[in-house]
Amino acid sequence: MPRAPSAPTRRAVLGGAAAAALARPALGGAPPRVVVVGAGFGGATAARCLAAGGVDTALVEAAPRYVACPGSNEVVAGLRGIEAQTFGYDALGRAGFRLVRATADAVDPAARRVRLGDGTELPYDRLILSPGIDLRFDALPGYDARAAEAMPHAWKAGEQTVLLARQLAAMPEGGTVVLSVPANPYRCPPGPYERASLIAHFLKTRKPRAKLILLDAKDTFSKQKLFEAAWARLYKDVLEVVPLAAGGQVSEVDPAGMVVRTDFAEVKADVACIIPPQRAGRIAAQAGCADRSGWCPIDPATFESRLVPGIHVVGDAAIAGAMPKSAFSANAQAKVCAQAVIDLLAGREPENPRLINTCWSLVAPGDGISIAGVFRPTDGLLADVPGAGGISPLDAPDAVRAQEAAYGESWYRTITRDVFG
Partner 1 sequence: MRAAPAALALLAALVGAAGAGAAEMRAPPGASSCTGCHARGAAMGALAGRPEAEIVAALAAFRTGARPATLMNRIAKGFDAAESRAIAIWFASQGAR
Question: In whole angstroms, how close is the CB of 365 to partner 1 at the nearest point?
Answer: 17
Comparing CB distances to partner 1, the nearer of 209 and 417 is: 417
Tell me, residue by residue from 171 to 200, as one string, x for binding to partner 1 by CB under 8 A and - for no binding: ------------------------------
Which of 6, 7, 390, 394: binder of partner 1 (CB under 8 A)?
390
Task: Please tell me whether residue 407 binds partner 1 under the rule CB under 8 A.
Answer: yes
Of 316, 317, 399, 421, the closest CA to residue 359 belongs to 316
Alpha-carbon gap, residue 272 to 400, rounded angstroms: 33
Task: Please tell me whether residue 91 binds partner 1 under the rule CB under 8 A.
Answer: no
Alpha-carbon gap, residue 281 to 295, rounded angstroms: 9
- Residue pair 129/38 in contact by the 8 Å Cβ criterion: yes
Which of 138, 159, 263, 418: binder of partner 1 (CB under 8 A)?
418
With contacts defined by CB under 8 A, how many residues of the chain interact with partner 1?
Answer: 52
Comparing CB distances to partner 1, the nearer of 220 and 352 is: 352
Comparing CB distances to partner 1, the nearer of 80 and 211 is: 80
Binding to partner 1 (CB under 8 A): which residues in 11-30? 21-26, 29
Task: Please tell me whether residue 224 binds partner 1 under the rule CB under 8 A.
Answer: no
Which helix (DSSP H) or strand (DSSP E) does residue 407 occupy?
Answer: helix 398-420
Which of 64, 119, 208, 387: binder of partner 1 (CB under 8 A)?
387
Helix 191-206 to helix 224-234 angle (10° resolution) is: 10
DSSP state of 161: H
Task: Please tell me whether residue 56 binds partner 1 under the rule CB under 8 A.
Answer: no
Question: In whole angstroms, how close is the CB of 404 to partner 1 at the nearest point?
Answer: 5
Alpha-carbon gap, residue 301 to 309, rounded angstroms: 14
Question: In whole angstroms, how close is the CB of 380 to partner 1 at the nearest point?
Answer: 18
Of 390, 276, 368, the closest CA to residue 322 belongs to 390
Question: In whole angstroms, how close is the CB of 12 to partner 1 at the nearest point?
Answer: 8
Task: Please tell me whether residue 410 binds partner 1 under the rule CB under 8 A.
Answer: yes
Phi, psi for residue 347 in degrees, rounded to 5: 75, 20
Binding to partner 1 (CB under 8 A): which residues in 350-369? 351-358
Comparing CB distances to partner 1, the nearer of 112 and 335 is: 335
Task: Please tell me whether residue 53 binds partner 1 under the rule CB under 8 A.
Answer: yes
Phi, psi for residue 319 in degrees, rounded to 5: -90, 100
Half-sphere exposure of 116 (CA within 13 A, CB side): 19
Comparing CB distances to partner 1, the nearer of 258 and 396 is: 396
Task: Please tell me whether residue 221 binds partner 1 under the rule CB under 8 A.
Answer: no
Contacts of 416 (CB under 8 A, 6+ apart): 68, 87
DSSP state of 298: B
Comparing CB distances to partner 1, the nearer of 115 and 376 is: 376
Comparing CB distances to partner 1, the nearer of 52 and 110 is: 52
Task: Please tell me whether residue 415 binds partner 1 under the rule CB under 8 A.
Answer: yes
Comparing CB distances to partner 1, the nearer of 29 and 64 is: 29
Comparing CB distances to partner 1, the nearer of 94 and 146 is: 94
Which of 112, 195, 279, 335: binder of partner 1 (CB under 8 A)?
335
Phi, psi for residue 25 in degrees, rounded to 5: -60, -30
Question: In whole angstroms, how close is the CB of 292 to partner 1 at the nearest point?
Answer: 31
Question: In whole angstroms, how close is the CB of 17 to partner 1 at the nearest point?
Answer: 12
Q: Put residue 415 in one of left, alpha, beta given phi > 0 → left and psi -120 to 50 → alpha.
A: alpha
Question: In whole angstroms, how close is the CB of 384 to partner 1 at the nearest point?
Answer: 8
Exposure b/e, 79-88, CB count within 10 A at least 16 = b: bbebebbebe
Which helix (DSSP H) or strand (DSSP E) does residue 204 occupy?
Answer: helix 191-206
Q: In what order do the strands lie in the sheet with 33-37?
A: 98-100, 56-60, 33-37, 126-129, 311-313
In the beta sheet, which residues pair with residue 127?
Answer: 35, 311
Q: Put residue 366 in one of left, alpha, beta given phi > 0 → left and psi -120 to 50 → alpha.
A: left
Task: Please tell me whether residue 54 binds partner 1 under the rule CB under 8 A.
Answer: yes
Which residues here bind partner 1, judged by CB under 8 A?
A: 9, 21-26, 29, 53-54, 328, 331-332, 335-336, 339, 342-343, 346-348, 351-358, 370, 372-374, 376, 385, 387-390, 392, 400, 403-404, 406-407, 410-411, 413-415, 417-418
